[in-house]
């Protein structure tokens, strides 16, 4: 793969990830503008996540039949239009419709990125490229989250709309064709579930994503209600998680190539368990800073290790595996948010113990996941 091609793929990931994290933070502002309840406007997150999780299952098989270049051009253009619709929406129906199409076409970027890296990058270098690819998405998502507290909420959708149209022009002229991979459009999901190693990995991805979101989405509430931290301190701690996650994606990619996929996956779990144990201790602010850095590194080490592991699959399963990776993560993330709220509302200490034990079980289970036929 040429360097320019990889840069374009990374930029696509950045544009399509810009407002992923910011959307939830914008709910109060959007609700105020539309004079509607935050609960109703909160559906912009669920509509996007559910649509994304289901739509991701389409794109892997789709690029067996159609040139990946055409699929990406199609999705980037319509994703940009969807952002334009949300950014200029004058009714809640237009807002929800735009978010639906954002999920539908935004779901293409991660599966196609993984597939192209798997097919065009040597196995020994894939971890580095996967790490850089996800690093770009993390940087963009963090940028959108940061800007959401500074500029009007509509610009959080108009910025990727404008940049998306510009990127479309760059892709049109400089993104090469991938016609050599074309065959027949078909879903191989039944065969995928007969591949025992892949089923183990997808099961692992489901539960690690569930546990992560069950904890991550409620950390702000924990810092506020249990530790009495001010909003600024809470925002800085959550931002630290994202910043360490960016480092984790890049660093973890290199470590995945040098130390191996399984070791980095399990190292990530160990760091996450350590973080939850430290949260149980109700540490002072300076210690929480270190805890959040460890938590962010742990999640992204695990994330990049698993994504790289999927690229080692036989080519006959690669497309479906890449789609399932995104679909499973978003669907289980939504389940985790709900389950975390249910448990944490009873007791944060109990919740941390439950999810810490779940991570320990995943650490044991992780010793048995590998790529074998």
Please tell me whether residues 242 and 201 are part of one structural domain: yes
Is the entire prediction scored with pTM above 0.95? Answer: no
pLDDT of residue 344: 84
pLDDT of residue 373: 43
Please tell me whether residues 201 and 170 are part of one structural domain: no
- The domain boundary, picked from 176, 206, 229, lies at 176
Please tell me whether residues 73 and 195 are part of one structural domain: no
Q: Is residue 184 part of a domain?
A: no
- The domain boundary, picked from 176, 201, 221, lies at 176
Please tell me whether residues 283 and 171 are part of one structural domain: no
Please tell me whether residues 225 and 203 are part of one structural domain: yes
> What digits encode the pLDDT tens for the residues 347-361?
889 999 999 999 999
- The domain boundary, picked from 129, 155, 176, lies at 176
Angle among Cα 354, 196, 308 to the nearest 5 degrees reads 75
Per the structure, the complete domain to which residue 112 belongs is given by 3-176
Distance CA 239, CA 295 (A): 12
Q: Is residue 183 part of a domain?
A: no
Contact predicate 303/326, CB 8 Å: no
> Is residue 98 scored above 90 in pLDDT?
yes
Residues 6+ apart with CB under 8 A from 347: none
> What digits encode the pLDDT tens for the residues 126-178?
888 888 888 888 889 888 878 887 888 999 999 999 999 999 999 999 988 87
Give residue for tokens 């894939």.
126
Q: Is residue 182 part of a domain?
A: no
Domain count, the chain: 2
> Is residue 228 scored above 70 in pLDDT?
yes
Q: Is residue 20 part of a domain?
A: yes
The lowest-confidence range among 23-27, 63-67, 104-108, 177-181 is 177-181
Query: How far lies 216's CA from each of 220, 224, 288, 306, in Å?
Result: 8, 14, 14, 19
Q: How confident is the model at residue 238 (pLDDT cuts 50, 70, 90)?
A: confident
Please tell me whether residues 284 and 228 are part of one structural domain: yes
> Is residue 191 scored above 60 in pLDDT?
yes
Please tell me whether residues 241 and 338 are part of one structural domain: yes
> Is residue 371 scored above 60 in pLDDT?
no
Q: Is residue 36 part of a domain?
A: yes
């Amino acid at each position: 793969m040429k360097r320019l091609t990889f840069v374009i793929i990374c930029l696509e990931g950045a544009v399509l990830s810009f407002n992923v994290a910011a959307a939830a933070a914008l709910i109060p502002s959007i609700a105020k503008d539309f004079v509607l309840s935050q609960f109703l406007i909160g559906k912009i997150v669920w509509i996007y996540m559910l649509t994304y999780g289901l739509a991701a299952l389409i794109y892997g098989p789709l690029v067996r039949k159609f040139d990946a270049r055409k699929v990406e051009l199609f999705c980037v253009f319509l994703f940009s239009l969807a952002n334009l619709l949300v950014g200029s929406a004058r009714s809640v129906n237009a807002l929800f419709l735009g978010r639906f199409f954002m999920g539908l076409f935004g779901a293409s970027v991660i599966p196609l990125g993984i597939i192209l890296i798997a097919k065009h990058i040597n196995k020994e270098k894939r971890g580095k490229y996967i790490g850089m690819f996800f690093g770009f998405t993390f940087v963009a998502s963090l940028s959108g989250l940061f800007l959401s507290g500074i500029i009007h909420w509509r610009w959080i959708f108009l910025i990727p709309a404008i940049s998306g149209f510009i990127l479309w022009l760059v892709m049109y002229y400089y993104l090469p064709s991938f016609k050599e991979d074309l065959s027949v459009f078909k879903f191989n999901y039944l065969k995928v579930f007969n591949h025992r190693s892949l089923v183990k990995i997808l099961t692992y991805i489901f539960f690690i994503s569930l546990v992560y979101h069950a904890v991550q989405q409620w950390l702000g509430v924990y810092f506020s209600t249990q530790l009495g931290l001010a909003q600024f301190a809470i925002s800085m701690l959550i931002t630290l998680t994202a910043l360490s996650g960016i480092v984790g994606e890049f660093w973890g990619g290199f470590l995945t190539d040098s130390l191996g996929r399984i070791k980095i996956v399990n190292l990530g779990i160990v760091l996450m368990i350590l973080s939850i144990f430290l949260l149980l201790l109700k540490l002072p602010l300076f210690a929480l800073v270190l805890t959040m850095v460890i938590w962010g590194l742990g999640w992204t080490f695990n994330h990049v290790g698993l994504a790289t592991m999927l690229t080692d699959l036989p080519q006959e399963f690669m497309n479906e595996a890449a789609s399932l990776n995104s679909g499973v993560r978003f669907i289980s993330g939504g389940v985790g948010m709900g389950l975390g709220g249910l448990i944490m509302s009873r007791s944060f200490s109990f919740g941390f113990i439950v999810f810490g034990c779940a991570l320990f079980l995943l650490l044991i289970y992780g010793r048995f996941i590998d790529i074998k036929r």
